[in-house]
Amino acid sequence: MDVHANGATLLAVAYWVAVLTLLLAFSLLTIIVILRARSQWRERRDKRAQQHWLQVMRQVLAGKEVQLRLLGKDEVTGFIEVWNTTHESLSQADSARLLPLGHRVGLVDAARRMLRGNYHDCAMAIIALGHLRDRSVFDELVPFLNDHSPIVSLCAAHALGQVDPPQAMAMFVPMILERDDWMPGNVARILARNEDGSAVRELDNTLLRASTSSMVKLVRFLADIDPDRAAVVIRQLLDGSIDDHAISVCLQLVNDRQDRERVAGFLDAPRWHVRMHAASALGRIGEAADSQRLEPMLADKVWWVRYRAAQALLALPGMGAAAMREMQHRQGDAYGRDIIDQVLSEHDMGVVA
C-alpha cells in the first residue's frame, strides 16, 4: 500500500512539475512575442517621425515657410535622431538655420526628459542640445562631463563646446589628464572642432602647469590643432631631461625642418626605440645630406631600426630606387642589404608604412 501511495504521489508531483514547466515556457514565449511586437511598433513609430521631420528640415533649409507644432511624445526619439544626423552633415552656417526650428518644436523640454532615460537616450539628448547651442542648457549639461561612462562624458564635452566654447574648453582640457578612459581619437576630434582658439589657449595654459609626463600626453593634441605652438613645446621637452618614452613621443611628432640637428642627436641613443623614431623623424624633415647619417643605421642590430632607417633614406629629397640600389651595393652588412630589398619591394607594391 505504501508503495502504491508513494507512486501516486510521485506521479502527481511529476504532473504538476510538467504543468508548471509548460506554463512557464508559455509565459516566456508570450513575453518575448509582446516585447518583439512592442519593439517593431516603436521602430515603425520612429520611422514615421523621422520621415516627417526630415522633410520639414529640408524645407526649412530650402528657405520655405513651414507650419510647425510642438513635438508629440511619440515623436521625440525620431526627431532627435534626424536632428543629430542632419546637423552632423551641415556646415556651421547651415546648421544655424535649423536652430529656430529646434526652439519652436520644444526640443529643449523634450531633450531634458530624455536626459533621465537610459544610456542611449541620454547620449542622444546631450548631442541634440549641443547642436541647439542654447546657453540656457549649459549648466544642465555640465554634470554629464563627469559621468562614469566615457561615451556620455565625451558627448557632454562636445555639446558644451558647441554651446559655450571658452568655458567648455576651460573645463574639458584639464580633465584630459584625469580621464584615462577617454579614447585619444575622440578627444582629438573634440579639440579639432573648436573654432574660437580656446582649445589651444587652454592646452597652452595646462602645459605650463603640467608635469613632464602630462606635457607629453597633451602635446599630441596640441600638435593636431596648432603645430607651431606644439613645435615649441617639443623642442623644450627634447632639450630637457626626459625619459626615453617621452623622447620617442616627441620624435614621432617632430615636423619642423629646423629641428634636424636636434633629431640627429638621438640617432645613436642607447635605446633602440629612440633610434628608430629618430630615423623616421629625420626621414620626414631631413635633407639629402642626411643620408650619410642614416646609412650606418642599416647595420643596426635591431630589425626595426634598420627598417625605419631604410624607409627614411628612401623618403629623403633626391633619393630613389636607383640611389638605394647603389647604397645597397656598397653595404658590407648582409642585414643592411636585405632591409633595402624589403623596403624597395614594399615601395614597388605601393605599401605605405
Helix crossing, 244-253 with 227-238: angle to 10°?
150
Pick the CATH number of 243-353 from 2.40.50.320, 1.25.10.10, 1.10.274.10, 1.10.3720.10: 1.25.10.10
Instruction: Identify the burial level of 217 via C-beta atoms within 10 angstroms of its C-beta, where 0-12 means exposed, 13-18 middle and 19 or more buried.
Output: middle
DSSP sequence for 13-42:
HHHHHHHHHHHHHHHHHHHHHHHHHHHHHH
Say whether 99 sits in a helix, a strand or coil.
helix
Domain boundaries, the chain: 45-63+76-163, 243-353
pLDDT for 352 equals 61
Contact by Cβ (8 Å): 187, 218: no
Tens digit of pLDDT at every position of the chain (353 positions): 565 666 678 778 888 888 888 888 888 888 888 778 776 666 776 788 788 889 999 999 988 888 888 888 888 899 999 999 999 988 888 899 999 999 999 999 999 988 988 888 999 999 999 999 999 999 999 999 999 999 999 999 999 999 999 999 999 999 998 898 999 999 999 999 998 889 999 998 888 788 888 888 899 899 988 898 899 989 988 988 888 999 999 999 999 999 999 999 999 999 999 999 999 999 999 999 999 999 999 999 999 999 999 999 999 998 988 999 999 998 888 988 999 999 999 988 876 66
Between the two ends of the chain, the Cα-to-Cα distance in Å is: 87
